[in-house]
Amino acid sequence: MCGIIGIVGRENVHVNQLIYDGLTILQHRGQDAAGIMTDFNGKFRLRKSNGLVSDIFYTRHMRRLQGHVGIGHVRYPTAGSFSRSEAQPFYVNSPYGLGLAHNGNLTNAKELQVQLTDKHHRHMNTSSDSELLLNMLAVELDSNGSSLSIEGAPHLDVETVFGAVKNVHRRVEGSYACVSIISGYGLLAFRDPYGIRPLIFGSREVDGRSEWIVASESVAITALGFDIVRDVQPGEAIFISNSGHLFHRQCAEKVEASPCIFEHVYFARPDSVIDGISVYHARLNQGDVLAKRILEQWPDHDIDAVIPVPDSGRIAALQMAKALDVPYREGFVKNRYVGRTFIMPGQALREKSVRRKLNAIEHEFAGKNILLVDDSIVRGTTSAQIIEMARDVGASKVYFASAAPPVRYPNVYGIDMPAINEFIADGKSIDEINSIIGSDRLFYQSLEDLIEATSIGEHPPSRFDTSCFNGEYVTGGIDEAYLDALYASRNDTAKVESSEDDEIVDMHNDTED
């Protein structure tokens, strides 16, 4: 999962600070790397590296990132490695000069690699599928052709742009929400025909001129002082010219809106609205429905208090406490300077970080029967350690509730859930999982309840991508061979080896910071 942003501002007004601020708002979507690219006087200005946004961009970098059109990216690695070379945005010089930032994961990356190398003679410098997507867009822009201006210089029109995106949809499979700079022309944004990854745009008027923003989440739009226009529709492309004119076109021949439901469980900020659905209200509903199911199964429960696993379990826990008619308490204090453990590569690193990340408030646990609430249970690492922490400070009984169903299948659309045997729910019953994590009783949300709780708003989608819960991949084409290859490239051992290799590469190819 990554975060992307693109801005077209007024001419002669640099957008670097707006993009920087937007990336800090989207930082929760990726903490591995970040980058900003701007277009200034026909040349790209680019700064990207590993780390948090606040650690990468210094004053000297911001001064160089001139231009009134720009894009940005925060990276959480799912495909490729962890080296600085994998950070986005990527760019190619031909045609026109093209930069791109991508959120998602391409499921036919190997086929695209062969096509681009053998047929189109394109050189790939990284193992990132985002670079493949950039080059495929470049090929289609080039092959769609262009007319000539009066002066004889190449001239790009919107029909060529939308035609290129249409062909990208035909050739590229998987999930992709993208922002792209076409040097000298403007900003292009597009979303895959299933709308798996989120993308939304907004605008504002300043001194009689329109400024535009495209981002992964609505919170980045409103926090920067823009007004939301609407979501980019599945399969749709929008193009904003350098002069601030907006064009849009449905470019996919077949559209089947299937947004990722895990955005509403874990990834998105609660103050965002995605595809017309308030993330906050979806999580409230998830807590309410789960509490009702607990009451049906266990009407004479002995729960003394509901305590959330911060932060993503908090909203569901609030509603659960209300529905169960028991006190809501904050029992853990979070160290906000430790990264999200779900995103960290390697089981040993995740296990080490949980105790550094959370500290229990003894008074809220001692002698009480506690219901802990988390958004989901993936590997079970965090859950087991948190339950142990609760017992260490005197909890009499520790019950555990997951606002999501058991995660049993790899996610192939941009969430780092690749290895089935790393899921605690793999091949196990709920009672077995309960025994492994050490809780006295374990409750999971059902998939049907999760979908119902999240299907809110005026026009909720007719379906969600729920593949990590039921193994049904909305794009099709995912077989056992693909999942085996995914496991080989992304399991914890592979990640550690990849990180070690890339550290050596970076030492020999370091650039000036």
**Which residues have a Cβ under 8 Å from the Cβ of 55 and sit 6 or more positions away?**
none
Query: What phi and psi values does residue 106 have, to the nearest 5 degrees?
Result: -90, 130
Give the whole-angstrom CA distance, residue 166 versus residue 268.
28
178 is catalytic: no
- Give the three-class secondary structure for 369: strand
**Which residues have a Cβ under 8 Å from the Cβ of 140 and sit 6 or more positions away?**
163, 164, 165, 167, 168, 171
Task: Give the angle 313-215-7 at the CA atoms, nearest 5°.
Answer: 150
Other CB atoms within 10 A of residue 78 CB = 23
3-state helix, strand, coil in the chain (%, to 5): 35, 25, 40
Query: What phi and psi values does residue 168 have, to the nearest 5 degrees?
Result: -60, -45
Give the whole-angstrom CA distance, residue 38 versus residue 36.
7
Task: Give the angle 384-387-392 at the CA atoms, nearest 5°.
Answer: 125
Q: Which listed residue (2, 178, 251, 468) is catalytic?
A: 2
How far is C-alpha 309 from the geometric centre of its chain's CA atoms? Answer: 21
- Give the three-class secondary structure for 106: strand
Rg (alpha carbons) of the chain, rounded to whole number: 23
Amino acid identity at 139:
V
Give the whole-angstrom CA distance, residue 16 versus residue 61.
10
In this structure, what token pair is assigned to residue 512? 């000036």
Order of strands across the sheet that contains 305-308: 305-308, 369-374, 397-402, 441-444
Give the whole-angstrom CA distance, residue 495 versus residue 384.
23
In this structure, what token pair is assigned to residue 239? 């193009």
Nearest to 226 by CA among 238, 236, 215, 235: 215
Give catalytic residue positions. 2
